[in-house]
Amino acid sequence: MRTEQPQTIRLTDYRQPDYLIDETHLTFELFEDHALVHSRLLMRVNGGQGALPPLVLHGQELTLQSLAFDEQPLAVGDYQVDAHSLTVQPLTKSFELVITTRIEPQNNTALEGLYKSGGMFCTQCEAEGFRKITYYLDRPDVMSRFTTTVMADRGAYPVLLSNGNLIASGEHEGGRHWATWEDPFPKPAYLFALVAGDLYRIDDSFTTMSGREVELRIYVEPENREQCAHAMDSLKRAMRWDEQMYGREYDLDIFMVVAVNDFNMGAMENKGLNIFNSSCVLAHPNTATDMAFQRVESVVAHEYFHNWSGNRVTCRDWFQLSLKEGFTVFRDSEFSADMNSRTVKRIEDVSFLRANQFAEDAGPMAHPVRPESYMEISNFYTLTIYEKGAEVVRMLHTLLGAEGFRKGSDLYFERHDGQAVTCDDFICAMEDTNGVDLTQFKRWYSQAGTPQLEIEGHYDAATSSFHLHCRQSCPPTPGQTQKLPFVIPLRMALLDANGQELPLYLAGQTQSLGTETVLAVTEAEQVFVFEQVSAAPLPSLLRGFSAPVKLAYPYSRDDRVFLAQHVDQRLLKVYRGVLADSSLDPAMVAEILRLPSEAYLIELAQQADVEAIHKVREWVRRELASALADSFRAVFQRLEEAGGSYSASAEAMARRSLRNTVLGYLMLTDSSDTLLACVRQFVEADNMTDRQAALIALVQSPHEQEKQAALEEFAQRWSAYPLVMDQWFSIQASNPLPGGLERVQALMTHPAFNIRNPNKVRALIGAFANHNLVNFHRTDGAGYRFLADRIIELNQLNPQIASRMLTPLTHWRRFDTQRQALMKTELARIMACEALSDDVYEVVSKSLN
């Protein structure tokens, strides 16, 4: 067990930086066994009269080689170095600091700072990776102008990139060359990036709304050059959308995206030089599913949108992380909604939020959208910061209306361009433009937990009025026992007996609110009275999931059936065998046919019975399959005929989605025709979506021979495609049939598996622990032990990934006492390890609390 606790950082301790860095001049000398980083910083004291405070620079895992103050080399006694910092005493208000550090990118398995991925050098600096490159004020409120020179061997690293514009380049002796980049926009160090490699470049261009020509470049390893068209197309659409919807134009002459295979997250918005996990750039119909296409589209847009919401206006400190992430996720989800089916996108996002963010909010790591403290900031790139943060921004949009929201965002960008600001500043811009007081609304930023909203309706025939009683509460979360009421936007309508929406008259108001309105629930208990209601209506509540809350309304069984008929006409039709109605959006039908995930059902339960949930859900699937078999067959047939050859259009994707959902059901019916059709689809498919759907159905079927043949064939054919092999691992790791753990253990020794590659870890270990619940939760605890062993291994190699893999164990309170004990035993075993990283320590210790 580690003896020292990591320090807790608190929002209330925030202080302005003592010093600022006006200019940062970096020179990197890259070699195979080390890199030298020469840094020249032009600095000055930040305001302040009187004595100059000591200058404390962040730095970690660095070997300091030399240090000079205004050209005076410092001797050993002139400064102090410890594991996290370098301290010197400035003698003048402004000065130049020159530092050389030595690092070893080739040994950097944490993938933070400067590291090697395959044959290329790349960086990842958010949140606090820059301090692993050189000593610096590595905090987002220190913004500086960067000039970067990269020097490396010309043969192995013909491409040398950094942020901004290329201003000079040249040759050196011994086959080396160099390039100098200059970024005119001051930025925090977390947005710094450098790439050196042998990369293929895809070129395109974009003309901005003011007529400026921007060069667009995607850099990939040469074998991936055929897989970039979709990312490039998505980028151009995102650029246009941000101009049209937010009036935001790109600001440099060049925008670069680089794909790397080893990356802890999805992608990173470094100024002018986004670095992407290859899984979020590469997409070709042969190798990527429709889901992967949509992910590429949304991540490319997300990172691009950060250029304004994150880079031009950045965060003052990391407690404000959701300022950029929540807003940017909201922006990218609206973009995706505009590019695809808005309804389907919303259903997907809400299902994801309810299954995963709600679980986080109910667990030991629950934290507000603006956290109050952390040990390791990397642990706070969470679903709460991202997805709930986006819901909070969406609620503002709902409350202020599209126009009010846009005006608020305009003011925010105008007022804070070039600054590092807070969530309060964002809200303040919304308040000032709209003349509203959002004080109470801000509780969404400060209070953790998922609010419960209980609503009851009473009809009073004597007065023709309908009373909607709302009661809100929020369960305690770590460090927050008492919660104050939130502002809950409740989008609603009242339906009459025919399912028609009634005009809404709130008591005391003569004007009708139309047939749909947004009520603001602001009290712990509150009653809304609707008048001129001639018969008992049925309320339709929380439309579009207008707030991230758990809604309870005592609908009767009859009411629910009625709602199913009238809230969404499509639902009942579908279940009545109108799978045959070809006028419906097939993607929507597929969504309706999809049962809630096991993870979501577990989240709903006070104490979840994993096996019962799995069995009942499977049983329902089988029942549906047999009851609707004829309709399923007809749809399968019809969509096959309509299909034709592959197209990437939204309509074609929707058809594939429905057809493959139907195939999944049909494969539960034990018909030899279906098995044949499935095998045929696997063999003959001209795209990965259909091929993969068939493979999943085979893998989860009892047909051993077909299954093994398909798996082998697939692995042989795609062994040179790491992203396809990720899918192959993940399909097997998610297979709920008995023996799951043993299958996963065997796959750990497969030549394509590599525990140092985060995508592989997620595909095999992550998929098993998160999506194969019956096998992971085996009653003998072997699933937990396996995961804990991997976490202990990863703790040494890549603490961020180790910590992320912990999530399933942190939810131990949801399960029966036997499983709780087994899960806690594993957490305790991890806790007892020596050399536990801050990342893992924080999550494990909070989970055991």
Residues that bind ligand PHE (CB under 6 A): 124, 126-127, 264-265, 267-269, 302-303, 306, 325, 381
Nearer to ligand PHE, 214 or 268 (CB): 268
Question: Quick one: what does residue 268 bind among ligand PHE, Zn ion, none, with the CB cut-off 5 to 8 Å set by partner type?
Answer: ligand PHE
Q: Which of these ranges, 326-334, 359-367, 543-551, 626-634, lies near Zn ion under the rule CB under 5 A?
A: 326-334
159-162 and 55-58 as β-strands: parallel, antiparallel, unpaired?
unpaired
Smallest distance from the beta carbon of 217 to ligand PHE, in angstroms? 19
Question: Which of these, 38, 314, 347, lies nearest to 186 by C-alpha position?
Answer: 314
- CA triplet 392, 292, 268: central angle to 5 degrees? 55
Smallest distance from the beta carbon of 232 to Zn ion, in angstroms? 20
- Identity (one letter) of the amino acid at 101? T
Nearer to ligand PHE, 422 or 631 (CB): 422
Nearer to Zn ion, 79 or 190 (CB): 190
Question: Quick one: what does residue 689 bind among Zn ion, ligand PHE, none, with the CB cut-off 5 to 8 Å set by partner type?
Answer: none
Listed in order, strand segments (DSSP E) in 46-119 are 55-58, 63-69, 72-73, 79-81, 85-88, 94-103, 113-117
Show Cβ contacts of residue 439 under 8 Å, excluding neighbours closer than 6 positions. Answer: none
Question: Quick one: what does residue 381 bind among Zn ion, ligand PHE, none, with the CB cut-off 5 to 8 Å set by partner type?
Answer: ligand PHE
Smallest distance from the beta carbon of 128 to ligand PHE, in angstroms? 10
Question: Quick one: what does residue 668 bind among Zn ion, ligand PHE, none, with the CB cut-off 5 to 8 Å set by partner type?
Answer: none
Smallest distance from the beta carbon of 106 to ligand PHE, in angstroms? 21
> What b/e readout covers 448-468, taking b as 16+ CB neighbours within 10 angstroms?
bbbbebebebeeeeeeebbeb
Q: How many residues bind Zn ion (CB under 5 A)?
A: 2
Q: Which of these ranges, 16-24, 319-327, 339-347, 795-803, lies near Zn ion under the rule CB under 5 A?
A: 319-327
Question: Quick one: what does residue 280 bind among Zn ion, ligand PHE, none, with the CB cut-off 5 to 8 Å set by partner type?
Answer: none
The residue nearest ligand PHE at its CB is: 265
d(CA 55, CA 48): 14
d(CA 279, CA 292): 8
Smallest distance from the beta carbon of 192 to Zn ion, in angstroms? 16
Please answer whether residues 84 and 107 qualify as being in contact, where contact means their C-beta atoms are separated by less than 8 angstroms. no
Per the annotation, the verdict on 126 as an active-site residue is: no
Smallest distance from the beta carbon of 122 to ligand PHE, in angstroms? 12
Question: Quick one: what does residue 216 bind among Zn ion, ligand PHE, none, with the CB cut-off 5 to 8 Å set by partner type?
Answer: none
Question: Which of these, 445, 161, 460, 140, lies nearest to 315 by C-alpha position?
Answer: 140
Q: Residue 314 pairs with which residues in a beta bridge? A: 420
Nearer to Zn ion, 30 or 321 (CB): 321
Smallest distance from the beta carbon of 554 to ligand PHE, in angstroms? 40
Question: Which of these, 481, 302, 323, 491, lies nearest to 409 by C-alpha position?
Answer: 323
Q: Which of these ranges, 328-336, 374-382, 456-464, 749-757, lies near Zn ion under the rule CB under 5 A?
A: 328-336
Question: Quick one: what does residue 391 bind among Zn ion, ligand PHE, none, with the CB cut-off 5 to 8 Å set by partner type?
Answer: none
Question: Quick one: what does residue 265 bind among ligand PHE, Zn ion, none, with the CB cut-off 5 to 8 Å set by partner type?
Answer: ligand PHE
Nearer to Zn ion, 321 or 635 (CB): 321
Q: Residue 590 pairs with which residues in a beta bridge? A: none
Please answer whether residues 227 and 283 qualify as being in contact, where contact means their C-beta atoms are separated by less than 8 angstroms. yes
Element (H, E) at 470: strand 465-473
Question: Which of these, 779, 754, 756, 783, lies nearest to 769 by C-alpha position?
Answer: 783
Q: Residue 501 carries which DSSP code?
A: B
Q: Residue 502 carries which DSSP code?
A: P
Phi and psi based region of residue 63 (left: phi greater than 0; alpha: psi -120 to 50; beta: remaining): beta
Smallest distance from the beta carbon of 303 to ligand PHE, in angstroms? 5
Nearer to ligand PHE, 310 or 664 (CB): 310
Token digits of residue 730? 């993940």
Nearer to ligand PHE, 126 or 360 (CB): 126
Q: Which of these ranges, 49-57, 318-326, 627-635, 693-701, lies near Zn ion under the rule CB under 5 A?
A: 318-326
Max Cα–Cα distance, the chain, nearest Å: 95
Question: Quick one: what does residue 603 bind among Zn ion, ligand PHE, none, with the CB cut-off 5 to 8 Å set by partner type?
Answer: none
Smallest distance from the beta carbon of 277 to ligand PHE, in angstroms? 9
Question: Quick one: what does residue 388 bind among ligand PHE, Zn ion, none, with the CB cut-off 5 to 8 Å set by partner type?
Answer: none
Angle, helices 722-733 vs 688-699, to 10°: value is: 30
Nearer to ligand PHE, 371 or 485 (CB): 371
Nearer to ligand PHE, 129 or 408 (CB): 129
Please answer whether residues 59 and 101 qualify as being in contact, where contact means their C-beta atoms are separated by less than 8 angstroms. yes
Nearer to ligand PHE, 139 or 284 (CB): 139
Please answer whether residues 80 and 14 qualify as being in contact, where contact means their C-beta atoms are separated by less than 8 angstroms. no
d(CA 258, CA 277): 9
Q: Which of 126, 303, 431, 826 is the catalytic position?
A: 303
* Residue 813 backbone dihedrals phi, psi, to 5 degrees: -65, -20
Q: Residue 533 carries which DSSP code?
A: -
Smallest distance from the beta carbon of 99 to ligand PHE, in angstroms? 24
Show Cβ contacts of residue 718 under 8 Å, excluding neighbours closer than 6 positions. Answer: 287, 724, 725, 728
Question: Quick one: what does residue 765 bind among Zn ion, ligand PHE, none, with the CB cut-off 5 to 8 Å set by partner type?
Answer: none
Smallest distance from the beta carbon of 247 to ligand PHE, in angstroms? 22
Nearer to ligand PHE, 24 or 322 (CB): 322
Token digits of residue 140? 């987002």
Q: Residue 815 carries which DSSP code?
A: S
Please answer whether residues 134 and 39 qualify as being in contact, where contact means their C-beta atoms are separated by less than 8 angstroms. yes
Question: Which of these, 815, 772, 771, 810, lies nearest to 791 by C-alpha position?
Answer: 810
Smallest distance from the beta carbon of 231 to Zn ion, in angstroms? 16
85-88 and 55-58 as β-strands: parallel, antiparallel, unpaired?
antiparallel
d(CA 472, CA 524): 5
d(CA 482, CA 20): 40
Binding pattern to Zn ion, positions 270-309, x when CB under 5 A? ----------------------------------------
Question: Quick one: what does residue 305 bind among ligand PHE, Zn ion, none, with the CB cut-off 5 to 8 Å set by partner type?
Answer: none
Nearer to ligand PHE, 142 or 697 (CB): 142
Smallest distance from the beta carbon of 770 to ligand PHE, in angstroms? 19
Distances (CA, A) of 706 to 344, 696, 697, 735, 772: 33, 12, 11, 15, 22
Nearer to Zn ion, 325 or 603 (CB): 325
Please answer whether residues 241 and 340 qualify as being in contact, where contact means their C-beta atoms are separated by less than 8 angstroms. no
Question: Which of these, 27, 20, 34, 23, lies nearest to 62 by C-alpha position?
Answer: 34
Question: Quick one: what does residue 242 bind among ligand PHE, Zn ion, none, with the CB cut-off 5 to 8 Å set by partner type?
Answer: none
Distances (CA, A) of 549 to 272, 475, 546, 552: 38, 12, 9, 10
Residues annotated as catalytic (active site), given as ranges: 303
Binding site for Zn ion (CB under 5 A): 325, 328
